[in-house]
Amino acid sequence: MRKFIYLLLFPIVSFSQTPLDSIDYFFRQKQFEKAEIQLTAYLKKQPKSPKAIELLGDTYGHQEKWDEAIASYKQLVDANPKSAEYHYKYGGALGMKALAASKLTALGMVGDIEAAFLKAAELDPKHVNVRWALVEYYTKLPGILGGSINKSLKYAYQLEQLSKVDGYLAKGYIYEYDNEPELAEKYYKLAINQGGSLWCYDKLTTFYEKQKQPEKALANLEVAKEKHKRNALDYQMGKIAAEYNIELQKGVQCLQTYLKNYSPEDGVPKAWAHYRLSQIYAHKKNKEAALKYIDLALAESPKTKSFKDERLKILRL
């Protein structure tokens, strides 16, 4: 269900020449409280606007106000029962609430979540996101409640008919969860060969890290960097070098490159690159350099516990 957050909320819809123009700006700036205020005011004048109701639900989702998001999407489902997208969003919001709720509450929501997703899949045979949701739902749901790897694979095969890359990634996810690492690796590699997107490389890298295979993770990142030329990949390589105490000089070079070419779009703040450099120099037993970089990290983010703990470790070298 965590994938729901990415699939549902992160794609940003653009609007032009409408009273909802500024909502797009608020979303891009992650100013969801302001978007909520404006949408609420708009809906007082246009209470039946499906787009405004949907956007308000999305805004609530970004703020993890799941009860409010559920109410918005339920309103849309009731008014538009043949909309696959509304059923999908309704089921996703229910699922996210279930993750945060008590086990007893979550158990009572299982039927409604499944029904919403299945209805969306029935209404739209080409809806990729709801099939992803069903893959994750049936993979993680305990068998006693209806979870099943076979059910998950059914929707992975449907995904494969719509998009080979999504199908391969879904199978990789399922087999990884089912503790079938050889099959998981096979399908993640097939996804890279088929699509080659940064997302595909990231899934295989993450898989290797979970499998405690940092050498393979680094090799995969190098291939990704050759193809995509993204600065963020230099940080990822440096991070793995620091965490697993391997290829330390390469890690230093990658992190220095990351810092040199840094922009906010890279995603990871410079403080974390300094932190990784301090870890590498600590591995090298270079206390002076390690202190230099951890102090740079703390100067940028003095309250980060990992940074403070690392400094104490370095002082004990």
pLDDT given at position 143: 87
- CB of 68 within 8 A of CB of 52? no
Interval 160-181 mean pLDDT: 97
Gap between the Cα atoms of 92 and 84, Å rounded = 12
Burial of 144 (0-12, 13-18, 19+ CB in 10 A): exposed
Write down the pTM of the prediction. Answer: 0.87
Gap between the Cα atoms of 278 and 287, Å rounded = 9
* pLDDT tens, residue by residue, 138-149: 999 988 888 999
Q: Assess whether pLDDT exceeds 90 at residue 175.
A: yes
* pLDDT tens, residue by residue, 299-315: 999 999 999 999 999 99
What size, in residues, is the chain?
A: 317
Enumerate domains of the chain plus CATH numbers. Answer: 1-124 (1.25.40.10), 128-229 (1.25.40.10), 232-317 (1.25.40.10)
Gap between the Cα atoms of 125 and 131, Å rounded = 9
Interval 97-122 mean pLDDT: 93
- CB of 146 within 8 A of CB of 137? no
* pLDDT tens, residue by residue, 225-248: 999 999 999 999 999 999 999 999
Interior angle at CA 252, CA 247 and CA 257, nearest 5: 125
Interval 109-116 mean pLDDT: 95
Q: Assess whether pLDDT exceeds 60 at residue 4.
A: no
Q: Assess whether pLDDT exceeds 90 at residue 25.
A: no
Confidence band (pLDDT; 50, 70, 90) for 9? low
Tokens, residue 224: 């990704």
Q: Which of 21, 32, 118 is nearest to 68 (CA)?
A: 32
Burial of 48 (0-12, 13-18, 19+ CB in 10 A): exposed
Gap between the Cα atoms of 96 and 51, Å rounded = 22
Q: Assess whether pLDDT exceeds 70 at residue 286.
A: yes
Instruction: Identify the DSSP state of 5.
Output: I
Interval 125-143 mean pLDDT: 94
What average pLDDT does the chain have? 92
Q: Which of 53, 305, 195 is nearest to 297 (CA)?
A: 305
Tokens, residue 210: 């979970």
Interval 63-72 mean pLDDT: 96
% the chain with pLDDT above 70: 94
Gap between the Cα atoms of 97 and 81, Å rounded = 22
Interval 195-209 mean pLDDT: 96
Q: Which of 47, 53, 39, 38 is nearest to 83 (CA)?
A: 53
CA distances from 83 to 30, 123, 124, 301 (A): 27, 7, 8, 46
pLDDT given at position 3: 53
pLDDT given at position 106: 87
DSSP string, 143-164: GGGT--HHHHHHHHHHHHHH-H
Main-chain dihedrals φ then ψ at residue 15, nearest 5 degrees: -125, 145
Would you state the torsion angle of the CA atoms of residues 228, 230, 267, 288, taken in this order, to the nearest 10 degrees? 140
